[in-house]
Every structure is written in C-alpha cells, then in structure tokens.
Structure 1
C-alpha cells in the first residue's frame, strides 16, 4: 500500500510557512528541546531529509546503504556543524533537501515501497511515515506556535502505534474523540484515556493540551523504539 507521501508534502509546506519569517536571532534562541536551539532543530530536519533521500536513491537502485556511514556520531556532528547557519541559509538548505526527497519519492512505483532500507531494518514506505513523524513533532519543538492539536489525526494515530512499545505490558490506550484503542500485549494493566492527539503527544514526550488520564496515575514511559530494532532471536 502506498505510504502517505502527500501528507508528508503537506507537512513540508507547513514547515516552510512556519519558518518563512524567522530571523537570525530567533534561529539562535532555545527550542523546546533541552540543549537545542531552533537552529539545531532545523539542522536536524534538513539533514534528516538528506539522509532519507540517500536511502531512497539507493533503494530505488536495489541497493542497501547506511543512513550514516559514521552512525549516530556522524549524525550528531552534522547537526552541531550546521545549527549555526543563518535563517536564510536554513530555509534554503531545508527547501533543497525536502524537494530532492520528494522528487525521489515521486519516482517510486507501488512495488518500490517494499524495497528494504537500513533505517530500522524496514522498507522504503517506513521512511515516509518516519519523515511524517519528524516533521510534525519537530514543528512543535521549534516553539513557533504549532502544537500537537495541529497534528493530522492520521499522524497522531500512527504515532501511538509507533510508540506503544514505551508502555508497560498490559496497558490499554483508548482515544475518547475517535473510535480507536490500542493494547500492549495481553493481561491486566492501566487504561490510559484521552484525545488522540493528546495521547500521541504524551507518548512522544511533548506537552499535550489536556494530559491523558489513568485511574492509578499515568504509567512511566520507557525508551523510544531502538534503532536498529532487536533481532527476533535476541529480543
């Protein structure tokens, strides 16, 4: 099934509008992520697009390549090296890399979306969903007015799917504004309720508009899904 490319393109346009009026001082100011300026967030969003384009370009040729030859150390070094760009430079680099990524995805046929990539040992379609998460979640982190309430419902529900593994076994999650519910394995556990966007924000470690509720208090969140995921024989 074709992944939500159109939704990512809409997210890219929303991001471009969000940063269109930024000046250099605003770029250098703190973001909502501890230790990161807005420049760090923009540098990450830009390089994330570049990395996914690299994976797509090789996948469409039937090739597997690492997102970063130097692993997380390379990723972090790129962010640090480019965070200090001017506002105009950030906008230009972001626009260029998102356009390249979109152009590569436009070349993909139905069968191409199942081509393997090294990112989370998944397929090309999974990188589209990942970019959708990255774009909307980090738009909140830029602290420029976008809030989880602005997230598309499809993105919120997907984020819960992706981050459900942060919850203890037996936990049930029920959205009160849409007919959706999730569970972590079987057995007794807490039931967490709330609006779908608030549930997604909470699981993503962002501030929900209304904090979800659970009778005995919200369960503690575990780490994000590991990358790469554990092999089945080592789970």
Structure 2
C-alpha cells in the first residue's frame, strides 16, 4: 500500500478524534437528552454510537494483527442497536469518559499497527485501511451531528473528496451527478445504468462541503442548485439518493 495514503488517513483520523473528544467534553451534561438531526437519536445516542464504533474498530485491529477476523459488533445489527440504547442511558459524565477512552484506544490501535494496514478484517470484507477510513468517516460526520458548534463546513477538502467518492454508491440508477464544487473542477459520479444502458445527467452546484454533506444525508449549511441537462438545464429538485452503503444491515 502506498505509504503516503496511510500517513494521510492516519493524520486525518488523529485530528478527527481530537476534534470529537473536545466537542463531547464541552457538552453541557443537561443537553445529552436533546434531539439531533438524526431521527430518533439524542446527543446521548450519537455519543454512544461513536463510542461503540470506536470500540468495534479497535477490536477489528487487534484481531487483524494476529491474523484473525471477528464480527464488527457482537450480535450483529441487533446487538449494535441494543448496545447504543444501553450506553445512551448512562450518566453523561460516564458517557464523556467512555467516549474519550474509546476514541483514544481506537485511534491508537490503528497508529500502532500501521505496518499491518493491509491485513484483512471482517468489516466490508476489507482491510485495516478500510477500517481506518470508516472510523474517519464516523468521527468527522458525527462531530457535526452533535450540533454543538461543529458543522459540515468544518470538513476538510480532502475528507470531502474522499466522502464523495465513497458515497457514489448512493447515486440513483440511471443517473449521473455532475458535481460543480465552487472554485474547483467539476467531477462526475454515476449510478448503475438503466435497462437501455443510459444515464441522464443532473448538475449539482455549491460549496464542496455542502455537496459532501448532502450526499451523506445531512442538511447542507449553504444552498445547492440542481439542473437537469435533459430539461434544457432547468432548475430541478435534488434527486432522491439511494440508501447509505451500510456495512451492518438490519436483520
């Protein structure tokens, strides 16, 4: 694996971990029950999930360096849901401490095992490198989900470009999205072709971070404009996206 990619993702992971920890430590304990933009999830649920995925990725690493693989979550999807609910009921101070410890341990596990990033893990039947990218996504995106000062506008350009590439799987069938991030060259991501082997093109224009946030299912901070080339470039609604490419599916 190319060393500079490992260094880049490792650095991004470390920064994301520090940012999320700082935000969580700064939360008013009385605000943990407040709702977030994630349906049915309070801040306590977001913190509980961030702790859970950190621990899950830590154990992916620990088994991978021994040449072993292990399920991402004990009990699969249902085990994940039950664990989030249980952790979200704890005292906010305990949640803060547990989140900080889990993030430190997970980020540290990846850093200490950088020579093994090509080792196989069960997550998406991939490698430790894939796991590091996944934890990077989780830490960055959920920091803004907490609605505690950080927004998607804080996401780095490098992270946004990576996220757009990862979320190309959400482009609807028969559609090509020509993305026009302001001040950058356009790029195109495409869904599967329709039965005729064709795809119509929708142009989406706006800030890079807002495009990435929309693809991630988050409300963009700024506006996005969509035009359909098949409709003489008339302004249209943003297309309905496919589901997030989940690694743990409901049972």
- CA 1:207/1:96 → structure 2, altered by over 3 Å: closer, same or farther? same
Find the counterpart in structure 2 of residue 151 from structure 1.
155
Aligned pairs (5 A) from 1:103-142: 103-110=108-115, 112-142=116-146
Distance 2:151 2:41 in 1: 18
User: CA separation in 1, counterparts of 2:29 and 2:91?
Assistant: 5
Q: Aligned pair 1:25/2:37, yes or no?
A: no
Q: Choose which of 205, 217, 221 in structure 1 pairs with 2:241.
A: 221
Indicate conservation of the 8 Å contact 1:202/1:211, yes or no.
no
Question: How many Å apart are 1:170 and its aligned residue?
Answer: 2.6
Please name the residue that 2:215 is paired with.
203
RMSD of aligned Cα (Å)? 1.8
1:44 alignment partner, one of 45, 49, 64? 49
Q: Shift of residue 228 of structure 1?
A: 6.3
Normalised TM-score (structure 1) = 0.90
Deviation at 1:106, TM superposition (A): 2.2
**What is the Cα deviation at residue 187 of structure 1?**
4.2
User: Take 1:206 and 1:78, find their aligned partners in 2: how far apart are those partners?
Assistant: 24
The 10-residue stretch of structure 1 (159-168 or 76-85) with the greater mean CA deviation from structure 2: 159-168
Q: Is the 8 A contact 2:65 2:113 kept in 1?
A: yes
- After superposition, the C-alpha distances for 1:15-47 in whole angstroms (9 at most, x for unaligned) are 121122323311121122121110000000001
Q: Which runs of 5+ in 2 are unaligned?
A: 192-197, 229-235
Match of 1:65 among 65, 70, 83: 70
For the residues of structure 1 that align with 2:30 and 2:38, how far apart are their CA atoms? 17
How many matched pairs? 228
**SS state of the match for residue 201, structure 2?**
coil
The correspondence of residues 97-108 of structure 1 with structure 2, limited to 5 A, is: 97-108=102-113
The list of structure 1 runs, each at least 4 consecutive aligned residues, that deviate by more than 3 angstroms after superposition, is 185-188
Q: 1:171: Cα distance to partner?
A: 2.7
8 Å Cα contact 1:56-1:124 kept in structure 2: yes
